[in-house]
Chains A and B, each alone.
Chain A
Amino acid sequence: MNSWKLWMLLLQGAGLTVAVSLLSIAIGLAIGAVISAGMLSSKQVFAVPSRLFVSFFRGVPLLVQLLLIYNLLPAIGINVSSVGAAITGLSLCTAAYQAENLRGGLMSVPKGLIEAAEMAGLNATQQFRRIRLPIAFRLTLPAIINEAIMILKASSLVSVVGVVELTRMTQDLSASTYRPLELFAMAGVIYFIINWGLSFIGSYTENAIRWGRP
């Protein structure tokens, strides 16, 4: 196999890595926002399960979570592809971390801003969606981006459930070409570049959302 073809295959794997990661980051953020609201709820029916969710998915190795979900879903009658199982696992795991990030942000939204919303007649859901969440999101944006980068790197673990993303592609190629040293180094470079792109998007977003501050 010539090196041009190797690069193309690696990039194909990288494409799947990016797609799986970005989807998981987006889904994880959405779930994380809901869970963070649950964690701060005064109703124990919401607070207790939310805290357990966060504690569980932050307490169990992602690899074990992925293996569990990959085997559990078919066992309970849900047939998803390995990509589907991978996205489910990554989303749930990153949701727990993002929920914890957002919880911190939600708690540091000044009380007066909530009182103003209260006086303007916004109900609890409107207050959360329109006032608290956007402000908490901006406050915790650096941590949210950090977690997004973590999950991009952690996405290499979905190689074990048969998703032929960058890591699995590299493994397969190195098994057939006997050039693991170059190939894994190349994969490392690609991961590094994707990460760099992600943190670039992150700082661009941070700069774009400034609400008039210099």
Chain B
Amino acid sequence: MRFDPALIIHHLPSILSGLSITILTWLIGTIGAVLVGFVIASARRFGPRPLGMALGAIVEVIRGTPFLIQLFLLYFGGPYIGLFLDPLPAGLLGLTVYGSAYFSEIFRGGFEAVPVGHIEAAECVGLNRLQIVKRILLPEMSMLVLPSAVNMAILLIKETAVLSIITVPELTMIVSAIGSEYYAFVESLFLLALFYWALVELCGFLGRKAEAKLSHFRLSAS
């Protein structure tokens, strides 16, 4: 075993910086993806038909192609149309665009899953359109989509590792650089895998807890 624990201590600052970039890109990318995804889903539901169809086609293309290809297109192809981006902003933008397509589908499903009767009941008691969206549609929908949204957010943790390929200095890139420098590739990658595993399991655990806590809302909503 070539792996020396002192390596970790020695490289702690760069490992921590990689970790913080992983967490930050994930958080910013996920929040961005949720917001953009919600706008797309709303535009497809409430906006004019041609806009909805165009957005639907874009979502299909993003969901139908690999994330890595999208990143390469943005990072290597971007400069040819005047879009010069450093790795980190390119990665963030890519993650947001990629995630937003999936989140928009989750929200679209959520909109459709709210029973028409609930909307009709709100109309009957005299709520206007904005009130219906704010007081009925959104609260009900957010309960319905929570499990799949949590799932998608967890998926995006793992996608941040892909950003290392366009040299975003996140955890995977830092750790594999250390590993190759000291010929301790297997050991350091194994530690890296364990770290992601723990992070994903932790987020899954917290997500399930949040769902359980909110489940009484869902019961009263249905």
Q: Footprint of B on A, CB under 8 Å?
A: 55-56, 58-65, 67-68, 71-72, 75, 153-157, 159-160, 167, 170-171, 174, 180-181, 184-185, 187-188, 191-192, 195-196
Contact = CB atoms under 8 A, between A and B. Distances in A.
Interface residues of B, number: 35
Nearest to B199: A59
B190 A188 contact: no
Q: DSSP class of A's interface residues: helix, strand, loop or mixed?
A: helix
A178 to B, nearest CB: 9
A60 B77 contact: no
A180 B160 CA distance: 22
Nearest to A52: B197
Interface in B88-120: none
A185 B73 contact: yes
Contacts of B201: 55, 59
10 contacts: A60-B200, A63-B162, A64-B193, A68-B186, A72-B189, A156-B68, A157-B68, A180-B77, A188-B69, A191-B66
Contacts of B162: 61, 63, 157
Contacts of A184: 69, 72-73, 76-77
Nearest to A192: B64
A68 B190 contact: yes
A159 B66 CA distance: 12
A59 B76 contact: no
Given A72-B189, A184-B77, 10 more contacts: A59-B197, A61-B172, A63-B161, A67-B189, A68-B189, A153-B67, A156-B68, A181-B77, A185-B77, A192-B61
A180 B80 contact: yes
B176 interface: yes
A67 B176 contact: yes
A157 B162 CA distance: 8
Interface centre among B69, B158, B159, B189, by most chain A C-beta atoms within 10 angstroms, is B69
Contact of A58 (B81, B198, B200): B200
A172 B157 CA distance: 28
Contacts of A63: 161-162, 164-165, 172
Contact of A174 (B64, B76, B196): B76
B101 to A, nearest CB: 12
B70 interface: yes
Q: Which 10 residue pairs across A and B have the least CB separation, nearest first?
A: A61-B161, A181-B77, A156-B66, A180-B76, A59-B200, A59-B197, A61-B158, A184-B73, A153-B66, A68-B189
